[in-house]
Amino acid sequence: MFKKKTDHPRGSKKLIGAWSLYDWANSVYSLVISSAIFPIYYSQYIFSDTNSVLLFNLNINKDTLISSVSGISFLIIAFLSPLLSGIADYIGNKKIFMKFFVYMGSLSCISLYWFELETIEISLFFYVLALIGYWGSLVYYNSYLTDITFSKQTNSVSARGFAMGYIGSVILLLINLIMINFHETFGFESEIYAMKFSFAIVGVWWLGFSQYSFYHLPRGNKGVKVPKNIIWNGFKELKNVYKIIRSSKRFTRFLLAFFVFSFSLQTVLYIASYFGVNEIDWTGSDQTSGLIISILLIQIVAIGGAYLFTGLAKKFGNILILTFAIFLWGAVCLYAYYINTPNEFYLIAGLVGLLMGGTQPIARATFSLFIPDTKDTTSFFSFYDVTEKIGIVFGMLFYAIAAQVTGSVRFSVIIFMFFFFLGAILLTRVPRIDKNKLA
């Protein structure tokens, strides 16, 4: 309805660079909070003397608690994202919504400094807001990919964004690790306080670097009078996009496959640290250092994986290479079920990093290439986002049940192995993208 305004032409280096830098800004959350320091802080310090907590008159396992709370957060995002995306497309200014989620998420990360067992309710509240802020911002960020690139650039730009995220998050994690290991030098009473301070640094990093992206990304419409029936118009935007998606075999088949392999991938990444804590025999080795090394290994190898698989996709096609990568994910899960030693865990970390780097940018780019020329890019990506979030809730449910019933993370790995294989099979039914479009 409204023509987008931008100071930079589509495909320009400045615009692509500003877009990619947001991955640098926000990926520190996914590494430090979701994967590295916070899980260790949560498992080893918050629950150092107990494996459960009494909450709402229920005795809840610590793993079940964090997975359930995370699942609820994803459901909230899945509900809000499509509606807000439709409204954003209708008024022609998605940057406003992206900023809202970034500010909420980054400030909530800072608030995690006060995460304690004694105040678990309010602590979990800020954990939820940080998670919603991170994932909520991504639907708007991802939707810019179609706006700022031509089709031949999409794969490489998507890979560049993820690579920037991997690099930036590793840099901040290393800074945090130095601060934690030499906490006395930095004036902290113990490594616990250094860990808590690292959560605040994540929020500041995320908030600070995102300002460059906000400055250069398309501005959208300003001064638009918001009508009273804005929510209804938001639903109308979504309905129009849904009709296009529903009538397309390419969209429907891809989203079904994406639902299956994405929830498996995201949940495996989520439980990686918990798997390392509970299932690996660290006798003779330092557990915390081992977990951090494995997480760094995942991120570093992922940089190479992003460019390797993007190059293969350009040569052989997105769908074929994505199918191959998802099949390999299943094979890695099968191997992970049998590992027990730190060295085996490091090997798995390297393989996970390679496949993570290869899968994430190609999946995002593939969906972007399906979208027709339209202003409703955010609404299209909201379906991608909702598929991912509902899938994650599905995966968290499996993990929570396995953790509560068996008391082991290991059993859930086999469940996800089968889903990865199913996802690969479903991908073979998706019509392939013309390779000339990527040339």
Q: Is 8 within the bounds of a domain?
A: no
Distance CA 227, CA 229 (A): 5
Which has more confidence, 404 or 126? 126
Mean of all residue pLDDT scores within the chain: 85
pLDDT over 70 (residue 381): yes
- Asked whether residue 266 is domain-assigned, the answer is yes
Q: Residue 378 above 60 pLDDT?
A: yes
- Between CA 117 and CA 329 the distance in angstroms is 36
User: Which domain, by its residues, includes 315?
Assistant: 15-221+228-437
- pLDDT > 70 in the chain, percent: 89
CATH code assigned at 97: 1.20.1250.20
Structural domain includes residue 415: yes
Q: Is residue 6 a part of any domain in this protein?
A: no
Residue 248 inside a domain? The answer is yes
Judge contact between 11 and 148, C-beta under 8 A.
yes
3-class secondary structure, 202? helix
pLDDT given at position 377? 72
| Spatial contact of 42 and 103, defined as CB atoms under 8 Å apart | no
Q: Which among 142, 159, 169 has a CA at the least distance from the CA of 359?
A: 159
Q: Is residue 1 part of a domain?
A: no
Q: What's the number of domains the chain is made of? A: 1
Give domain status of residue 5, yes or no.
Answer: no
Q: State the pLDDT confidence band at 99, using cuts at 50, 70 and 90.
A: very high
Residue 187 tokens read as: 């004036």
d(CA 114, CA 122): 9
Phi, psi of 226 (to 5 degrees): -80, 120
Lowest-confidence pick of 2-16, 262-276, 383-397: 2-16
Q: Which position has the token pair 């129009």? A: 240
Q: Which of 264-268, 390-394, 419-423 has the lowest mean pLDDT?
A: 390-394
Q: How confident is the model at residue 234 (pLDDT cuts 50, 70, 90)?
A: low
Residue that is written with structure tokens 């130095």 in the block: 178
Question: pLDDT of 176-210, one tens digit each?
Answer: 999 998 999 999 988 899 999 999 999 999 999 99
Q: What percent of the chain has pLDDT over 90?
A: 41
The three-class DSSP label of residue 72 is helix
In a domain, 10, yes or no: no
Q: What does pTM read for this prediction? A: 0.82
pLDDT bucket at 224, cuts 50 / 70 / 90: low
**Contact (Cβ atoms closer than 8 angstroms) between residue 378 and residue 139:** yes
Identify the sign of the CA torsion 298, 299, 304, 306: positive
